[in-house]
Amino acid sequence: MAMYSLFCSTMTMRCLATNTPVGFCMSNLLYKTPTCGYAIKVAAKGKGMVKDVLKGPEVCKDPVKLTSHAVGFNIFKQGDDPARKPHKEYPEWLFQLQLGPLKNIHELEPDSREYWKKL
């Protein structure tokens, strides 16, 4: 910033020494403001253009595959869904998870941890 003001003052002094109006003597490079180079907005689609429709994943309706595989658990583009294992290969805590609706605060015991978390 100091170099800029020093440069402007030397240009002004030179213009005053030659009796030239300051506005003509200064170059346009000094007065350019920094701008952001954002991308140009794309024009709106016309009437003749076909709109792209997003497709979701295919729905599996095969009952054998639905009962033997965890359909929809494969996060990769390639490969099959993982096969389901017997219950004894899964941890015990997995079957103790509460998946139903949440309990009301009146149904909980006042001395329990869940009661005080709910408050």
pLDDT digits (tens, 9 = 90+) for 46-91: 665 667 788 877 888 999 999 999 998 888 888 888 999 999 999 9
Tokens of 98: 């509460």
User: Distance of alpha carbon 20 from its chain centroid, rounded?
Assistant: 56
Contact between 108 and 115 (Cβ < 8 Å)? yes
* pTM score of the predicted model: 0.38
Tokens of 89: 């290969």
Cα separation, 110 vs 116, whole angstroms: 8
Residue 113 CB coordination number (10 Å) = 9
Position 100 confidence tier, pLDDT thresholds 50, 70, 90: confident
